[in-house]
Chain A
C-alpha cells in the first residue's frame, strides 16, 4: 500500500467524500425513524427501526472519522447537529419524505443495493478507517437489501393494487437514482489514491441488480429522465431543511444538554 499524498486540497476533498457517505446514512436513518409506530405491523416497526439504527451507527463512525480528518476539533455531534443544510453532502434520493410504504421499500432497495456494491469495493480503500467501516457495514446492508427485496417482490407480484402502488413507488424514486453515480463533485485524486470508489464504476452492477429484482417482481424498470445532481455540493431539495429542523432542534435549543 502506498501512502496517499496529503495536500490541503486532497484533505478537504477527503473530508467531503466521507461526509457524503456519512450524510447518506444519517439522513436515511432519520427518515427510517419516521416509520416507528407507523409501520403496517409490529414486526415491520422493529425491522425499520433496526435498519435505521444500523444506518445511524454507520453514520456515527463516518462522521467521527470526517471530524478527525478535518482536524478542527469537531466531533460526530457537532457535525450532525451544528451544520446547516448547505453543508450536508448527502444525495437527494435519501432526503425526500417517504411516508408511503412502497416508496420506503423502493428507496431502501436502491440504497441498500448501492451501499452493498459501494462498501464491497470500499473495503479495499487506502483509508484504513473507511475500509473498516465498509467491512462492518457490508454485512448489515446485506440484511437491509434482503428485507427490501422481499417486500418489493411481495408487493409487485401481489394484488393489482399492490402491484400498481409498487410500480408508482419505483417511478417516484427512479429519477433520483442517477445521482448516486455522479462524480462531478468528487476530486479525481481521491480515486487515484485509492481512498474513494469511483461512483461511475458502480452504475453497471447496481442497475443490473436492481433490474433483476424489479423484473422478478413483475414490475418494470422506469424509463425516466434523471434529476439534476447537486446534493454532494450542498444543493438540496426543499425537504432537507425541514428534516434537519426536526433532527437538530433539541440540541440547538439546549446546547450541551446531557441526560
Chain B
C-alpha cells in the first residue's frame, strides 16, 4: 500500500472525471463515484495515473472488472500508464453512497440502504421498514437476508406483490 491521501484529493483533475464515470458492473446505473468506492485518483508530472478504489465487501467479485474498466476508460482518454490499487482503510460504508447514487438505485428498482440517521443501531440492527422501489409502499417484508450479490438482500412488497433488491446497510 502506498501512503495515505486525503480521500478525493485528486477530485478536480481530468483523470478523476474520467475514472468517476466508470459504472459498477453489477449495478450498471450507478458509477463507482456514486457508490463512494472511488477513493482517489492522482496524476504525476509524467502523466502516470494511480487510482485507489475500495471494495464494498471483502470478497466483492466485481473488483477485477472495475480495475479493467478503469484502465480501459483512462487509456481511451490518453492515460497510458494507469495503476489501480485496492485499499481497505477506511472501511467502506453504505453511508458513502451519494445522494445521486441513492436516487439512481431507487429508480433502477433497488431500495437504497437506510441513511445513518435512519439506522438505530449497528449494521444488522435494521428494524425500520424498507420502502418498495416499485410502488412506494412501506408494507414490505424481507424474504432473504442474502440476495443476488453480497451487498443486497431480497424483499417482497405486500402491496404490489413485486420482489425487489435492497442495498443492505454496511
A residues near B (Cβ < 8 Å) are 43, 46-47, 49-51, 53-58, 60-61, 128-129, 131-133, 135-140, 142-143, 145-147
Contacts and interface: CB of A to CB of B under 8 A. Distances in A.
B59 A47 contact: no
Interface in B78-97: 88-93
A51 B150 CA distance: 8
Contacts of B61: 53
B110 to A, nearest CB: 16
A142 B122 contact: yes
Interface stretch (B16-24, B43-51, B101-109, B139-147): B139-147
A143 to B, nearest CB: 6
Nearest to A146: B124
A61 B145 contact: no
Nearest to A29: B59
A31 to B, nearest CB: 15
**Most chain A beta carbons < 10 A, residue from B93, B150, B170:** B150
A57 B144 contact: no
A47 B144 CA distance: 8
B1 A146 contact: no
Interface residues of B, number: 27
Interface of B: 1, 55, 57-61, 88-93, 122-124, 143-150, 154, 168, 170
Given A57-B59, A147-B146, 18 more contacts: A46-B146, A46-B147, A46-B154, A47-B145, A53-B61, A54-B57, A57-B55, A57-B60, A60-B58, A129-B88, A131-B89, A135-B91, A136-B88, A140-B170, A142-B122, A142-B124, A143-B145, A146-B124
Nearest to B59: A57
B55 A43 contact: no
A129 B58 contact: no
12 contacts: A46-B146, A47-B145, A50-B149, A53-B61, A60-B59, A61-B58, A137-B58, A139-B91, A140-B57, A143-B123, A143-B124, A143-B146
A55 B144 contact: no
A57 B58 contact: yes
Contact of B145 (A56, A128, A147): A147
Contacts of A135: 88-91
Nearest to A64: B86
A56 B58 CA distance: 8
A193 to B, nearest CB: 20
A43 B154 contact: yes
Contacts of B89: 128, 131-132, 135-136
Given A50-B150, A136-B88, A139-B123, A43 B144 contact: yes
Contacts of B122: 142
Nearest to B122: A142
A125 to B, nearest CB: 12
B123 A47 contact: no
A147 B124 CA distance: 10
A46 B93 CA distance: 22
Given A50-B146, A142-B124, A146-B145, A132 B59 contact: no
B148 A58 contact: no
B123 A58 contact: no
Contact of A61 (B88, B93, B144, B150): B88
B146 A47 contact: yes
Nearest to B143: A43
A185 B59 CA distance: 29
Nearest to A137: B58
